[in-house]
Amino acid sequence: MEFSAQQIALLLGGKLVGNANAKVSDVAPIEHAEAKHLSFITDEKYLPQLQTTHAGVVLITESLFSDQSAIGNDQSAVILVPNARGAMAQLLQLVAKTMNPARQGVEQPSFISEGVTVPEDAYIGAFAYIGKNVRLGKGVQIYPNTYIGDNCIIGDNTILYSGVKVYYNCSVGANCILHSGVVIGGDGFGFEPDAQGVNQKIPQIGNVIIEDDVEIGANSTVDRAMMGSTVVRKNVKIDNLVQVAHNVEVGESTFLCAQVGIAGSTKVGKHCILTGQVGVAGHIEIVDNCIFGAQAGVAGSVRKPGMYQGSPAIDAATWRRATIGFKQLPEMVRDLHELKKSHNS
């Protein structure tokens, strides 16, 4: 599908500079773009590439652009928008819908329990299993080899990609996306040794509640509660390979990046960001608006918004100063030995 620069500018409400007739049919990073490509710039350091790029159309955050002569290729067009990355995302959403449009109908073989109503605009892929008393919302997309246990709720327009497993009594809200390999409602990790020291399983009889507009990446897991509910609030975004344990609550609009692990009964606030491989201990609370750097270890409750790093996690500025001292430790130890030698001689 081909779009002109003028069409894109109208769609985004942006200001067009340069060749209004430039046409694009694909996207690419600006350093690799050709005439058929749409690209974008959100950082001042990439502006010099406007002189050399062959991109047909470039979206630029308008606060960065002040000189039309910065465009080196007179066949290119620039579209000025308040946020080039956001505008690019808007366009990519449209492209994604054309590449993978919503499906309808029930493929066979699949198993749908008696009494379950499948909306007319829903899609159930081959080899899917839908348990008893399941409620499916309008426009749901259940891809092949997906399992939905008894008494589950799947909200309107939610997508469950191939291989997703939703255990019994769990609910997934509207407009959610669960990627392949996601498991919702597997047992929490609960055991208690008996008098002989044998670990006995503690039944996990709660459930998982996923609210609206949540996206969960491939092979991530959200465990069911021992009692009550494990809750992922609305607009949470979870990356691949993330573990959310039993009775955890993840606050609204929080990001959990790859390989994050959150232990049981912990409450994470709203608008937090846990970057790669952050580990969070159980039975603690994290306030709203916290950011944890990669591989941070959160051992206790965090009661003040801010940026944290290290294990155990501390204020990021303090941690940076501490790492400078850590790098100097070998020299400090050597100097201490020299001082001892001179003192004893």
Share of the chain above pLDDT 70, in %: 98
Q: How confident is the model at residue 172 (pLDDT cuts 50, 70, 90)?
A: very high
Kindly tell me the sign of the dihedral angle through the C-alpha atoms of 48, 51, 57, 60: positive
Check residue 132 and give its pLDDT: 98
Of 289, 297, 287, 241, which Cα lies nearest the Cα of 267?
Answer: 287
Whether 3-99 and 105-320 share one fold: the answer is no
Q: What is the C-alpha to C-alpha distance for residues 16 and 49, in angstroms, rounded to an integer?
A: 18
Mean pLDDT in residue range 311-315: 95
Query: Domain-by-domain residue ranges, the chain?
Result: 3-99, 105-320
Sheet holding 147-148, edge to edge: 111-112, 129-130, 147-148, 165-166, 183-186, 221-223, 243-244, 261-262, 279-280, 297-298
Give me the helix-helix angle, 84-99 and 5-12, nearest 10°: 110
With vertex at residue 234, the alpha carbon angle to CA 229 and CA 236, rounded to the nearest 5 degrees, is 95
> pLDDT tens across 103-129, in order?
999 999 999 999 999 999 999 999 999
Average pLDDT, the chain: 94
Domain 3-99: assigned CATH number: 3.40.1390.10
Domain 105-320: assigned CATH number: 2.160.10.10
Contact 99, 83 (CB under 8 A): no
246 is known as an active-site residue: yes
> pLDDT tens across 28-82, in order?
999 899 999 999 999 988 888 888 889 999 999 999 887 766 676 778 899 999 9
> pLDDT tens across 226-284, in order?
999 999 999 999 999 999 999 999 999 999 999 999 999 999 999 999 999 999 999 99
Check residue 339 and give its pLDDT: 86
- CB-count exposure of residue 340 (10 Å: 0-12, 13-18, 19+): exposed
Contact 222, 204 (CB under 8 A): no
Candidate from 178-182, 314-318, 329-333 with smallest mean pLDDT: 329-333
CA separation, residue 95 to residues 25, 60, 72, 77, 179 (Å): 10, 19, 28, 20, 19
Task: Please state whether the predicted TM-score (pTM) of the whole model is above 0.75.
Answer: yes
Share of the chain above pLDDT 90, in %: 78
Q: Which residue has the higher pLDDT, 19 or 273?
A: 273
Residue with tokens 């955050």: 61
Which of 32, 54, 179, 246 is labelled catalytic?
246
